[in-house]
Amino acid sequence: MRLSIIIPVYKSQETLAACLDSIFPVPADVEVICVDDGSPDDSISILQQYQQKYPTLQIIRQQNGGIASARNAALGKARGEWITFCDPDDTLVPGAVEKILQALDNSCELICWGANIVSEQDLEWMRTAKSYHRIKQEGKKTATPALLGETTVTVWNKAFKRTIIQNNQIVFTQGLFEDNGFYWSYAPYVKQMLFINEYWYNYVQRDSSVFGKLYRGDISYAGNFARVFGALVDFYKKHALWKEYQPYLQIAFKQMFFLSLKLSHKQTAQTCGDFRAVLTSAKFDHPSALMTEVQRGKTIQLVNGEILTGWKWVFCLTNIKDYKHVFLFGHHICQFKRRKK
């Protein structure tokens, strides 16, 4: 089996058929594994109808445990040399499966392609998503912390080696944005990366989606990223990656911390406190400037740099004795006298 395509299914009856139609029929060396995650709607009937038409479709049924649990269940059953993912409300472009098969290269450990942002609306946060998923590299590259850091963490526009996943017990951590933990757990095992400058995945977005609600501030997952980062630290320590690959964790921390602040801007104190607890427990040998600043716990205000400058990162204003210190990207920029009351 050359390729396994994993699809977690929950409350997907409105979009599941379009997703499956964009994938099937598949060549004989491709397996599709759908996990019915205790879906209360008619999703399982749709899966069974497609299984009658395409017997190679595998269905795993389980009680509702979330997308991480569903994906992990499929990872335990996958037989493909390579593994990719698809969400049931998204689709692949015509011929994508065949193109992915042609791109598979055993001299690489990670293969990446582009994603189209599909939406009937043109909202600001969707434009941000388009920029994020734009292909920034092309061809075969030697993996470095910087290159891995500028690559998207989403798993459905990539192909991963199954042996690396299973031999190193790489799994998804339960919670929102599970892709972050999976990607950075896999990253230390990547020596060569292949970037395909084509867009094979259709990432369907709606303002009513979880992402839309997060960007509007309707819901918050302030503690989620810290929990995923903590699990990532534990993974590196357990798998003897801690000493050599701490630079990877520094980049992962910066990404998760900034995104957590952006998506949970009303809970800055909680976000900082959650990450501070993880950093204190982890005891990094050479923490980045940003890690040190967060761990010090002296931050009195975190301002979104996009508001002040149009940049997307964060200013940290800290109160040290009679001065306020301004940090940008975790680096000290300037200080100014604190006004007395």
Question: Lowest-confidence range among 182-186, 259-263, 322-326?
Answer: 322-326
pLDDT-based confidence at residue 133 (cuts at 50, 70, 90): confident
Q: Which amino acid is residue 142, in one-letter code?
A: T
Query: Residue 291 has what pLDDT?
Result: 87
Cα 12 to Cα 34, 132, 204: the distances in Å are: 12, 26, 13
CA separation for the pair 292, 309 (Å, rounded): 24
CA separation for the pair 317, 326 (Å, rounded): 5
Under DSSP, the state recorded for 8 is E
CA 53, 92, 256, 262 dihedral sign is negative
pLDDT-based confidence at residue 208 (cuts at 50, 70, 90): low
Task: Using DSSP, state whether 4 is helix, strand or coil.
Answer: strand
- Percent with pLDDT over 90 in the chain: 63
DSSP of 110-134? EEEEEEEEE-S---HHHHHHHHHTS
Quick one: angle between helices 246-263 and 179-186, nearest 10?
170
Burial code (b: 16+ CB inside 10 Å, e: under 16) for 3-41 equals bbbbbbbbbbbebbbebbebbeebeeebbbbbbbbbbee
pLDDT in tens, 169-184: 999 998 767 899 999 9
Does 216 or 52 have the greater pLDDT score? 52
pLDDT at residue 7 is higher than 80 = yes
Query: Residue 82 has what pLDDT?
Result: 98
pLDDT in tens, 299-313: 656 655 554 455 555
Helix (H) or strand (E) holding 273: helix 268-282
Helix (H) or strand (E) holding 294: helix 289-296
Query: Residue 217 has what pLDDT?
Result: 58
Q: Which two tokens stand for residue 318?
A: 């800290």
Q: Compute how many other C-beta atoms are within 10 angstroms of the C-beta atom of residue 202.
A: 19
- Percent with pLDDT over 70 in the chain: 78
pLDDT at residue 341 is higher than 60 = no
CA separation for the pair 173, 155 (Å, rounded): 13
pLDDT at residue 3 is higher than 70 = yes
Query: Residue 229 has what pLDDT?
Result: 94
pLDDT at residue 287 is higher than 70 = yes
User: Among the ranges 191-200, 219-228, 249-258, which has the highest mean pLDDT value?
Assistant: 191-200
Mean pLDDT (whole number) for 252-263: 84
Query: Residue 283 has what pLDDT?
Result: 95
pLDDT-based confidence at residue 205 (cuts at 50, 70, 90): confident
